[in-house]
Structure 1
Amino acid sequence: MAAQQLRRQHCPEAAADGLRSFDLIARIAAAEAEDFDISSTRPDDTALCGADAVLVRAFRQILVRDDVEPPDRAFLVAHEFGHWILHPEEQEGCRQVIVSTLNPAEDDTLGAKRVEAYGARERAELQANVFARELLLPRPLARALFLAGHTASWIAADLALPLELVRQQLLDALLLPEDGLADDAPEPALTPTDEQRDAARSPVRTSLVVAGPGTGKTATLLMRIEHLLANGAKPAELLVLTFSNRAARELVDRLAANGVPDAHEMWVGTFHAFGLEFLRKNHERFGLRPGFGVADKMAQIALLEPHIYGLPLRVFNPLGDPLPWLDQAVKTMQRAKDELLDAVAFTRVVEAGAVQADAERLALDRDLALLYRTYEALLRANGGLVDFGDLILLPAQALRANRAEFAPSIGRFRHVLVDEYQDVNRASAELVKAIAAQADSLWVVGDPRQAIYRFRGASMRNIVRFADDFPQHREFRLNENWRSFEEIVRVVEHTGRDDNPLQGVLPLGGVAPIRGPGGVRPTLVSCEDESIAFGELASRVLGLQAEGTAFREQVILANRHDTCDAAAAALVAAGIPVLHLGDVFQRPEVKDLLALLQLFVDRSGSALVRIAQLPGLALPAPDVDVLLDHLRHTRPAPLSWLQAPPADLSPAGAQALQRWRDTFGGLTSRDSPWDVICSLLFQRTRWLADYANGSDMQAVTRRLALWQIIYYLRVPDGGRVYQTVGTFLTRLRRRLRLADDRDLRIPPPEAELLDAVAVMTIHQSKGLEFEAVHLMDVDARHFERSDDAPWLPEVLTQSAGGVDEARSEAANRLYVALSRARSSLTLYEEKGYFKAARAPAVQRAAHLLNCVVGTVAYAVGRHAAALTALAPQVPVDLREFVTYRTCPRRYYYDVMKQLSPAAGLHPAARIEAAVMRELFVPAGGDVSAPVNDVAVELAMLTEEYEPARPHLLAYAVQLLDAGRAWSGTVRAAMASPIDVVCDGLPVRVTAHRVTRQDNVVTLHFVRAQPSSAYAKQHKILRWVLKCLNQQFRQYRFQGSMYVLSSRVSEHVRPYQDLGFDHLVEMGHELMEGRFPAKPNAWVCSGCRHFLYCPA
């Protein structure tokens, strides 16, 4: 690395022993080879132009603001050294170096971080930051000092470095792979085909290149760039737009590897990165502040939610927990922006369709339009935020209206190139049209059969109907496949032609496999069940590795994340190295950190069940029970009990708590989660030293997961507001409920060269290729059309020129998955899963496949080892059995351990529970006893939910009124319990009211919110009613469910014939005292025990 080379060149002894930062900087600056003048100046000096530091290249001078401490000054100078060595062009001043690197609380939002990853400016700044960190504290030195027993603060003081820099270097040094494997020697350059040359040298103003998988799309794009430069174009005149950060990174790397001169002067990046830079340069024209942020979905909902309560909404109920419908509403707004519909245009569309729409749909659309207008007004109120859709919509609208006004921003781009054009949305297509209107050439490349991002707003109609936007274009087709053997090409070709709705609009031509035949057909393995599917998978991965296909040259693909997780677990159990992080928030090492954070906000101390097992914090199990019982009854402030623990602890427990006081002393819930975790890991414990050991892939994966989550703690989440431990945990749960954590499943680039089998979804595999592909679950249900969300107005779901986009995308997913393979392709079907049918496209391609029956079985458990404890007291309460049916481990925490953390439940859920306690007392209870449960819950609201207090109170009043109207009294006693034996399980049924007419007995139940007929509670109640009818044959039992929020009663009929025995089986497991965890992304994120389960 250049930074370490510079360090060794001028300070050879420092590479091993360390050197104070300002001495190191002085040596380098004074060296004859460098000879830099480093000067300090006032922050308001015009020479700085508002920057933290400036490199004046012509005079070999670095100017630095004079109001920073010496360690920060050393970092700023080192950052400019990075620009001097890495970026020969002139740089603007580095305005946000201190903020972005050394003060994370003031840094960009998570949304902006996602967009900026590979923008031209951000790339240069990131490179200079990494250079500075490696120059001042090389990773090997950081690792050695920490493993020698030194803390982060000691290293910072000893070497005169910013503490924040030391933390980052320690994380990278201890948790990231050092070098992976040495990369393979570069493949010899392939001779361009006539197709590629013709496309790259296109003389026409607008060119569309349709490039199928493996036909050299990226190589042709690079050839086009080189052709333009060879014919007089200047690098700064080229704009290259991509769909993803990964594609942008690949292009930048390939340009550098090809030695393209002055490649740094080109603008290469994503559409969103371009839009962000455009808005930053022209912020005043859009009413934006210079440092505006980018709102991701979390920030969008946080912005809108406080204002929904006063809106005259007809369909959406803002009271209670509005997150589920707010999620869908925000998605609808973003999809509208994808189609160039701002709030005004969206409202116009809704009203234009009012005559044809039914009353229910019109009410829904008008609610959405009102929410959209409210959201836009809030977003524009102070110029501080835009959202992802705005990054495309606002530039596209502005350029269409007055391109000349923005000529300084886009006028230099004479040649526009677009990669992956099939993945752009309508707004992106209009942006391309506007930018290219005065350009000398527009050259786009894509493949409609690889369009699989419709759920993100992408529309294949932009490429299918390209001629509508650019009537004078010329089309080029790349039909020579360099990637795959002929046997694979023929299967891919079959699915892209005979089984794709696009064939009638854009026929797939004959594909020529340049590599010729490989001698082995792709294989379809038919498996009876999951154990055989995974057994065959493991066996075939090992077989290919034995034949010379390295683990890292193989990939497991699946449609769903849970299939990926299960496949990865199977391979790990078989001893195969796997690169797969999965759901990082379900990983044990991450749960340890989350449980630590929960201790700072939870009065019940429930996370003790996990934390008390960590190294250095171990507590005897009886003392854990004593502490939990004490906290359950006293509910002191979080962690205050360390100073006043219960008197009946054992001597060993009391001694252990002294270690706890040393570990947690001085840290509070008001601190940032980044500061808390860094303090625990780098100052107060040696846990990371333990994690740094181990070279097997499981140890490496643990470190990668920790690296992902700890850096995630560093970035302000959901907006610019400084986040505390409490607000972070609240936002994290909301983010998980929104399924907005997928980015954390992707390993960092440093892991790419590890020799391990990759496991990913088909969407994640886009743009990649592997020697061997293993495609799981090739049954029809995984390749069916997926319709848009039902809230989208029809104008947003129009088909592409007569092609059913949803059906085409389903066919495209299979096409993309199959075409990732170079030499080996294996498909696996699991016939036993609800009698799954084979995907029709695979069935019709059977003559091209080697069809075999799987026989190798491998038993793999999907979930954590089951907990076995004492059997519960019987009879089991009906509501408790519903909990067991949802998750046995949750039952264990709720009933057996009686854990009751307030942190984790949405306040609306706690208000609902409080309302039920105010409405009903147990049978025989005193209905006149004073009660204030709702007031207590409102008093315990955290700062994050304080603005919602009046609305939660209104919600409580609404529910209380409905309940009292139903019962006819202020507070009612519940009915006497009825005991029944359900297939061997003694169950106690306590209804809110029991009525009888003749021999018909109706059990009346009350709940706050409705549940579907397929909900667990509904099914269990039908089962119990069936058992009551069998046990008390003189009566006929039925049920009724009254919903407080809607004031509607629903009739519940008993099962006549159960038809399945899983409820019976679960009853037996409960009686045996078995409490396994059942991870489920949706259920777990709403569980109050999530952060420390399983423990």
Structure 2
Amino acid sequence: MTPFRRARLAAQQLRRQHCPEAAADGLRSFDLIARIAAAEAEDFDISSTRPDDTALCGADAVLVRAFRQILVRDDVEPPDRAFLVAHEFGHWILHPEEQEGCRQVIVSTLNPAEDDTLGAKRVEAYGARERAELQANVFARELLLPRPLARALFLAGHTASWIAADLALPLELVRQQLLDALLLPEDGLADDAPEPALTPTDEQRDAARSPVRTSLVVAGPGTGKTATLLMRIEHLLANGAKPAELLVLTFSNRAARELVDRLAANGVPDAHEMWVGTFHAFGLEFLRKNHERFGLRPGFGVADKMAQIALLEPHIYGLPLRVFNPLGDPLPWLDQAVKTMQRAKDELLDAVAFTRVVEAGAVQADAERLALDRDLALLYRTYEALLRANGGLVDFGDLILLPAQALRANRAEFAPSIGRFRHVLVDEYQDVNRASAELVKAIAAQADSLWVVGDPRQAIYRFRGASMRNIVRFADDFPQHREFRLNENWRSFEEIVRVVEHTGRDDNPLQGVLPLGGVAPIRGPGGVRPTLVSCEDESIAFGELASRVLGLQAEGTAFREQVILANRHDTCDAAAAALVAAGIPVLHLGDVFQRPEVKDLLALLQLFVDRSGSALVRIAQLPGLALPAPDVDVLLDHLRHTRPAPLSWLQAPPADLSPAGAQALQRWRDTFGGLTSRDSPWDVICSLLFQRTRWLADYANGSDMQAVTRRLALWQIIYYLRVPDGGRVYQTVGTFLTRLRRRLRLADDRDLRIPPPEAELLDAVAVMTIHQSKGLEFEAVHLMDVDARHFERSDDAPWLPEVLTQSAGGVDEARSEAANRLYVALSRARSSLTLYEEKGYFKAARAPAVQRAAHLLNCVVGTVAYAVGRHAAALTALAPQVPVDLREFVTYRTCPRRYYYDVMKQLSPAAGLHPAARIEAAVMRELFVPAGGDVSAPVNDVAVELAMLTEEYEPARPHLLAYAVQLLDAGRAWSGTVRAAMASPIDVVCDGLPVRVTAHRVTRQDNVVTLHFVRAQPSSAYAKQHKILRWVLKCLNQQFRQYRFQGSMYVLSSRVSEHVRPYQDLGFDHLVEMGHELMEGRFPAKPNAWVCSGCRHFLYCPA
């Protein structure tokens, strides 16, 4: 049971104890609080006092435990007062020790404050202090409005505001309880069944009772690592250590949560007094306690990657950069630059030290590399100056770097913060970075004991800065340590252990440095070898997967005891879809921003910022907002030509709507009236869901896993709307959507793929990446794609200076990590392990480690096929003689659905495109007119685009203007004129598809015809545009044999021309097949994380 489930259970018990009658369901909050406070068992004095009363210590309320008194500030409304008192009741029940005052409870827990950041929320969840406050919040919410009551009231037809008024509750509390009650699985709040007690082994006992000052426990998978850590804690407590003297550091929030749960389940006395949490949570609390020493404000925020880029981007334009071009869209290289800064902090290099390293290597570096490194150093120094400017922000790297530097320099100064920790324990030591290792050294310098546990063969987080050299070279940091090894595997049957052992020993570069000893499988043999299923293609792999999942379930292995593992998220998505199609319950959210129920909410938000109203194509299909299809077309045509302010057209719709359409718009006015793009997205969505529609009531129905995962996805995204994203400024609907697209382009949305803990009890097959499976175990593991390309070494980003990529004592860390991923995946299995390989990929090859372990596997050939639907239903077939514009076919090649929206529906939302992309399109319109057009006609497309910039991009206006001037100058230099007419179109039939080719210029020398094209930014020789152009050139040569066609691509940003040669032999037919699908009118969506996030139709596609 998690601490938060325990808090809910305690709150419901207290409510039933003092308000047993059914009438309690209608009890107002202050009456409920008064009844509990007056009860003989509680007998609390609740007193009001001034907000500046020193007794409050700056808090909103405080529990004075010795006098059974709760002090509350006297300037809050009764509903907020009730919440504050209930929060302190939570401390009284849950935390039987004196608590510090709560920090701004109302501001930071009910209404997100401006100094809250998404970064801080990610870190705070499992810091010791924040965990206690969050528990008290959950207790207070459940005491005042139990989830079952909230659900019943809403489903009875009551709105959130009615519930808040009737029960005298804060509206925000009601909203949160409604979301939890309607969208999270009901766990019943029953106590978890205790895990069967295992008899400790001699290895575990020796490690847990280690008498030496520094201990390293090397614990392989399934050897009882967490149990040994708990034994160590119990041993310390039994030998006189006080709980408050223990500091337990973990790598992840999930590991911290599991440890807290296990401590509570084991009945460890006063476990709440221990500090248990992540390195980053410890660093955050350390900086908060000592903020003045670091020049930080008390309420500083934590900048995630979005906030880091938002901080730096406005200041890059005046920097003397040599390699990076700030004009245009700098997000791709800013992403890599910020990653480099964070990796530098992982290695204890601040901006000054990073610059010193760059200059120290200047003699050996080539000129190009040196220019790049110096640009990075300049960006780093600029970023750090901005970060430190007003003491309002730190980043994730600082949470480790700053405490480590400070403690190394002057530990005595910070004794009040760390002096109480006499015993330091560290979990998952193989996953720490160099800064974390130095922080551990500094904290443990005066401690009585340091005890760390880890396994170098489970080090798979190198991409996050973790380095296995901290455990491989542990003796360098702690020469006097003693090493303990846990080699008895409690988890897996012998047949599985032998396969895992083989990959960890014979196929791992670590074997030469840290040999893997013999692993003893305590469970003995299971009688069945792990299976390797060789499949010809994806359809057979997924067919075999579904068949084997069902087979295991029929034999008694529940769905929730099985997991599908893969290296890549897209493989997880495809596997989950195949299982769902086979009727198998699956717990997998995938990319939540591609889910239909989430797209509905995003499309609703886009209506508030988009003059074109393009999201109508989706919104007009929602319950209560349905519009006849002809009326949707009328509205879209009207908005395309008039471009009124968003949603203003509801008050002045076009006159030619049908009576049904006009009547429907009245419902729209009732639904959206009073809401604007200046409101927060949280307020807008909560108003729509809890006040103006009954959509959530519909979603609350359904018990199948698809319905459950829909609700979980909605829960994730709606809570995501609460916290200001990418900085500490209040976000509006418009800024949220802009930042969301940037976050998706940065691939910084992975946390939303992880279901909340409430989902863990569902009977469904889990689907996750190997990295997500770390620390978990399952009865049955199905590992997809065990081919070599998925287990190859991945090198560091090319921008990292060599000092940041040093290997661990002669071990190739990149190769070792690739081997470790397979080792981790295989070792998750208890009783059944199945591997799947697909042989249909180009140059597919089995992973060498799997090939060499073939004698330990039952190798079979897959035969069960899964029917993969390949073709979307035709929407509108094209007339066979109408040629398709070449550029439009490039769009179709990118995504058929985008072609449908651009060409067939002529949707043109400005929202969604980066301003640089719109400027590039405007530049092209100013440089060129269609063949035969008037080149002297006045044009001001760039000025129009600049005038339409939203508030979010206003600071970039002068730089976007400079970018436009740069491109215009390059274009006019190329064409030799201010504005040029494009060449006359050339029609060609490409394998049955009529294509119209319109070049910007056509030149001819003898029989060689060159089609010249102009684009703003360069593209790869493997890009879609190049491939299609080469195909078209080939077809032109076949159709007009008297000429030899070739292409040229001029890039405005670089002023460089790229030669494009025709294909001699196509060698593949997917372009031909795609042309036929276009002619047939097939426009399926092609989800792709990178492409979709940059598409202007993303928020309502597919519709």
- TM-score in terms of structure 2 length: 0.99
Aligned 8 A contact 2:873 2:1082 in 1: no
Question: By how many angstroms is 1:864 displaced?
Answer: 7.9
CA distance in 2, matches of 1:576, 1:181: 26
CA distance in 1, matches of 2:111, 2:587: 32
Change (3 A) 1:540 1:287: same
Aligned 8 A contact 2:874 2:1080 in 1: no
Correspondence for 1:856: 864
Q: Does 1:446 align with 2:442?
A: no
CA distance in 1, matches of 2:246, 2:871: 51
Change (3 A) 1:861 1:59: farther
SS of aligned partner of 2:906: coil
Correspondence for 2:493: 485
Per-residue CA deviation, residues 298-322 of structure 1 (Å, 9 max, x unaligned), is: 0000000000000000000000000
Correspondence for 2:3: none
Per-residue CA deviation, residues 588-641 of structure 1 (Å, 9 max, x unaligned), is: 000000000000000000000000000000000000000000000000000000
Question: By how many angstroms is 1:874 displaced?
Answer: 1.6
Per-residue CA deviation, residues 949-1005 of structure 1 (Å, 9 max, x unaligned), is: 000000000000000000011000000000000110000000000011111111000
Aligned 8 A contact 1:236 1:266 in 2: yes
State, as a whole percentage, how many aligned pairs show the same letter. Answer: 100
Per-residue CA deviation, residues 169-215 of structure 1 (Å, 9 max, x unaligned), is: 00000000011797873332111101000000111110000000000
CA distance in 2, matches of 1:617, 1:869: 29
Aligned 8 A contact 1:869 1:1075 in 2: no
Change (3 A) 1:864 1:733: farther
Change (3 A) 1:181 1:999: farther
Moved more, 870-879 or 387-396: 870-879
Question: By how many angstroms is 1:101 displaced?
Answer: 2.1
Correspondence for 1:896: 904
Question: By how many angstroms is 1:17 displaced?
Answer: 3.2
Aligned 8 A contact 2:786 2:836 in 1: yes
Change (3 A) 1:342 1:705: same
Change (3 A) 1:34 1:707: same
Question: By how many angstroms is 1:15 displaced?
Answer: 6.3
Question: By how many angstroms is 1:31 displaced?
Answer: 1.0
Moved more, 990-999 or 175-184: 175-184
Per-residue CA deviation, residues 153-181 of structure 1 (Å, 9 max, x unaligned), is: 00000111000000000000000001179
Aligned 8 A contact 1:777 1:828 in 2: yes
Correspondence for 2:651: 643
CA distance in 1, matches of 2:291, 2:770: 38
Per-residue CA deviation, residues 806-857 of structure 1 (Å, 9 max, x unaligned), is: 0000000000000000000000001112241000000000000000000111
Change (3 A) 1:555 1:1013: same
Equivalent position to 2:91, from 83, 87, 90: 83
Per-residue CA deviation, residues 1035-1088 of structure 1 (Å, 9 max, x unaligned), is: 111100000000000111000000111000000000000000000001000000
Question: By how many angstroms is 1:103 displaced?
Answer: 1.3
Moved more, 690-699 or 3-12: 3-12
Correspondence for 1:111: 119
Correspondence for 1:1006: 1014
CA distance in 2, matches of 1:670, 1:617: 23
Question: By how many angstroms is 1:647 displaced?
Answer: 0.3
Per-residue CA deviation, residues 352-404 of structure 1 (Å, 9 max, x unaligned), is: 00000000000000000000000000000000000000000000000000000
Aligned 8 A contact 1:181 1:754 in 2: no
Aligned 8 A contact 1:566 1:862 in 2: no
Aligned 8 A contact 2:877 2:1079 in 1: no
CA distance in 2, matches of 1:376, 1:861: 52
- TM-score in terms of structure 1 length: 0.99
Aligned 8 A contact 2:871 2:1082 in 1: no
Question: By how many angstroms is 1:788 displaced?
Answer: 0.3
SS of aligned partner of 1:752: helix
CA distance in 2, matches of 1:427, 1:14: 56
Question: By how many angstroms is 1:521 displaced?
Answer: 0.3
Equivalence map 1:946-957=2 (5 Å): 946-957=954-965
Question: By how many angstroms is 1:102 displaced?
Answer: 2.0
Question: By how many angstroms is 1:470 displaced?
Answer: 0.5
CA distance in 2, matches of 1:122, 1:873: 67
How many residues are aligned here?
1095
Change (3 A) 1:872 1:462: farther
Question: By how many angstroms is 1:107 displaced?
Answer: 5.7
CA distance in 2, matches of 1:599, 1:764: 36
CA distance in 2, matches of 1:685, 1:498: 61
Correspondence for 2:662: 654
Aligned 8 A contact 1:505 1:803 in 2: yes
Question: By how many angstroms is 1:728 displaced?
Answer: 0.1
Aligned 8 A contact 2:782 2:834 in 1: yes
Equivalent position to 1:681, from 677, 689, 710: 689
CA distance in 1, matches of 2:1075, 2:31: 71
Aligned 8 A contact 2:61 2:72 in 1: yes
Correspondence for 1:696: 704
Question: By how many angstroms is 1:80 displaced?
Answer: 0.5
Change (3 A) 1:865 1:75: farther
Change (3 A) 1:872 1:8: farther
Per-residue CA deviation, residues 487-527 of structure 1 (Å, 9 max, x unaligned), is: 00000000000000000000000000000000000000000
Calculate the aligned-residue CA RMSD, in Å. Answer: 1.1
CA distance in 2, matches of 1:129, 1:865: 50
Aligned 8 A contact 1:54 1:94 in 2: yes
Question: By how many angstroms is 1:105 displaced?
Answer: 4.7
Aligned 8 A contact 1:484 1:513 in 2: yes
Long gaps (5+) in structure 2:
1-8
Question: By how many angstroms is 1:16 displaced?
Answer: 5.9
Aligned 8 A contact 1:872 1:1073 in 2: no
Moved more, 593-602 or 4-13: 4-13
Question: By how many angstroms is 1:424 displaced?
Answer: 0.2
CA distance in 1, matches of 2:679, 2:877: 38
Aligned 8 A contact 2:741 2:912 in 1: yes
Correspondence for 1:464: 472
Runs ≥4 residues deviating over 6 A: 180-184, 862-866
Long gaps (5+) in structure 1:
none
Question: By how many angstroms is 1:14 displaced?
Answer: 5.0
CA distance in 1, matches of 2:1043, 2:66: 97
Aligned 8 A contact 2:194 2:265 in 1: no
Aligned 8 A contact 1:107 1:715 in 2: no
Aligned 8 A contact 2:87 2:136 in 1: yes
Equivalence map 1:738-817=2 (5 Å): 738-817=746-825
CA distance in 2, matches of 1:719, 1:906: 19
Question: By how many angstroms is 1:1033 displaced?
Answer: 0.6
Equivalent position to 1:249, from 252, 257, 282: 257
Question: By how many angstroms is 1:13 displaced?
Answer: 2.6
Aligned 8 A contact 1:581 1:705 in 2: yes
Aligned 8 A contact 1:485 1:516 in 2: yes
Aligned 8 A contact 1:866 1:1077 in 2: no
Aligned 8 A contact 2:303 2:393 in 1: yes
Q: Does 1:1038 align with 2:1046?
A: yes
Question: By how many angstroms is 1:271 displaced?
Answer: 0.3
Moved more, 154-163 or 4-13: 4-13
Question: By how many angstroms is 1:9 displaced?
Answer: 1.4
Aligned 8 A contact 1:105 1:714 in 2: no
Change (3 A) 1:11 1:453: same
SS of aligned partner of 2:679: coil
Per-residue CA deviation, residues 718-758 of structure 1 (Å, 9 max, x unaligned), is: 11100000000000000000000000000000000000000
CA distance in 2, matches of 1:660, 1:549: 50
Change (3 A) 1:180 1:1005: farther
CA distance in 2, matches of 1:252, 1:327: 35
CA distance in 2, matches of 1:799, 1:53: 52
Q: Does 1:556 align with 2:571?
A: no
SS of aligned partner of 1:106: coil
Aligned 8 A contact 1:99 1:107 in 2: no
CA distance in 1, matches of 2:162, 2:797: 54
Aligned 8 A contact 1:867 1:1076 in 2: no
CA distance in 1, matches of 2:244, 2:128: 12
Moved more, 175-184 or 889-898: 175-184
